[in-house]
Structure 1
Amino acid sequence: MPYPAKLSAEPILDAAQQLLETEGLDALSMRSLAQRLGVRPSSLYRHFESREVLLRALGDRAALALRDALQAAALGLEPRPALYAAAQTYLSYARTHPHIYALLLTKGDELPPEQLALSAGKKLWETLLALVGALSGHPDDTDHTVAFWTFLHGFASLERSGTFGKSGPKGGLEVGLESILGHMEAAKG
């Protein structure tokens, strides 16, 4: 195989994401990725020291993509409609990118505080916190943000697993969102 003179991290991540999204996590190995890129596996290790580091980079990429999608969905909307739009966008992302979404919430090695503050996951969290805080009136409303994210993740997980069955969730999403958003508004008091 030729020496990959212009191989860089971004094309590796692009190919890894495509492989992950089309074939799933088990199909993503350094060897399969190298084959897809037409390079030797050792070439990949110049950019990502291990599969775990590559997966963490893909998870970071997913967090930033979801953050950007949430911000775009909520742009220019009042707080309650913004959270509805964010919820729909979140669930749409989880549905259309199930494998990369699974990486998004995989806990990796603990980051030192200075790296955690700049992490992609923290940026996603801050976006959710800002959206929730705009409705509740409390900029650091961790409790409601955790409840909102937990509800969305739980819904996405149940939907993905088929737990709702053929009849679907029967309005459960709307009932849950109304309850959580109503509680946020009541906290504004």
Structure 2
Amino acid sequence: MPYPAKLNPEQILDAAQTLLETSGPDGLSMRTLADALSVRPSSLYRHHASRETLLVALGDRAAGALQEALLRATADRTARAGAEAASHAYLDYARQHPHLYALLLTKGEEQSPAGLAGTAGKRLWSALLEVVGQLSGNLDDTDHAVALWTFLHGFAALERSGMFGASGPRGGLKVGLTALLDAMESAHATRKPSS
């Protein structure tokens, strides 16, 4: 195989993402990735020390993509419509990219608070917190953000596993999402203005 003079991190991640999305996590190894790129596996280790660091990079890419989807969904919408659109964008991402979505839920090594603040996962969390804060009136509304995240992730996981059965979730998504968004709006209505 020729020396990969022009192999760059984006090419590697693009090929790794394609392998992950088409073959699942078991289909992505340094060897299969090297084969897809027509390079020797040792060439990849110049960019990623291991498969695990490659998966972390893919997870960061997934977090960035989901963050962008949430931001696009909320653009030019009221707080309520934005929160609803962002919720649907979240579920759409989980449906369309199940293996990348799964990487978002893999806990990496512990990082310092300063290191964590710059991660793609933290930026994704901040975007979700902003969506919720716009509706609840509390820009640091961790409680409602966790509730929404838990609901959306639970729905995505149940849907992916087929646990809803042949009849599907019916109106369950709408009922749950409406209840959560109503609670957020209610919190905004009862918040006392800062003095």
TM > 0.5 = yes
Q: Deviations over 1:106-127 (max 9, x none)?
A: 1111112111001000000000
Structure 1 spans left out of the alignment, 5+ residues: none
Deviation at 1:8, TM superposition (A): 1.0
Deviation at 1:86, TM superposition (A): 0.5
Q: Specify the code of the residue in structure 2 equivalent to 1:9.
A: P
Distance across 1 between alignment mates of 2:112 and 2:41: 30
Distance across 2 between alignment mates of 1:12 and 1:57: 10
| TM-score normalised to structure 2 length | 0.96
Q: Could you tell me which residue of structure 2 aligns to residue 184 of structure 1?
A: 184
Structure 2 spans left out of the alignment, 5+ residues: 191-195
Q: Secondary structure at the match of 1:46?
A: coil
Distance across 1 between alignment mates of 2:43 and 2:3: 8
Q: Could you tell me which residue of structure 1 aligns to residue 146 of structure 2?
A: 146
Q: Could you tell me which residue of structure 1 aligns to residue 74 of structure 2?
A: 74
Q: Could you tell me which residue of structure 1 aligns to residue 84 of structure 2?
A: 84
Q: Could you tell me which residue of structure 2 aligns to residue 49 of structure 1?
A: 49
Q: Deviations over 1:33-58 (max 9, x none)?
A: 00000000000000000100000000
Q: Deviations over 1:67-86 (max 9, x none)?
A: 00110011010011101100
Q: Could you tell me which residue of structure 1 aligns to residue 173 of structure 2?
A: 173
- 1:1-189 pair list within 5 angstroms: 1-188=1-188, 189=190
Q: Secondary structure at the match of 1:76?
A: coil
Q: Specify the code of the residue in structure 2 equivalent to 1:154.
A: G
Distance across 2 between alignment mates of 1:67 and 1:142: 17
The runs of at least 4 aligned residues of structure 1 exceeding 4 Å deviation read: none
Q: Deviations over 1:114-164 (max 9, x none)?
A: 110010000000000001000000010000000000100000000000000
Distance across 1 between alignment mates of 2:76 and 2:110: 36
RMSD: 0.5
Distance across 2 between alignment mates of 1:33 and 1:76: 40
Distance across 2 between alignment mates of 1:89 and 1:136: 20
Distance across 2 between alignment mates of 1:47 and 1:72: 31
Deviation at 1:25, TM superposition (A): 0.3
Identity of aligned residues (%): 65
Deviation at 1:90, TM superposition (A): 0.6
Q: Deviations over 1:4-54 (max 9, x none)?
A: 001111100000000000000001000000000000000000000010000
Q: Secondary structure at the match of 1:109?
A: coil
| TM-score normalised to structure 1 length | 0.99
Distance across 2 between alignment mates of 1:13 and 1:125: 23
Aligned length: 189
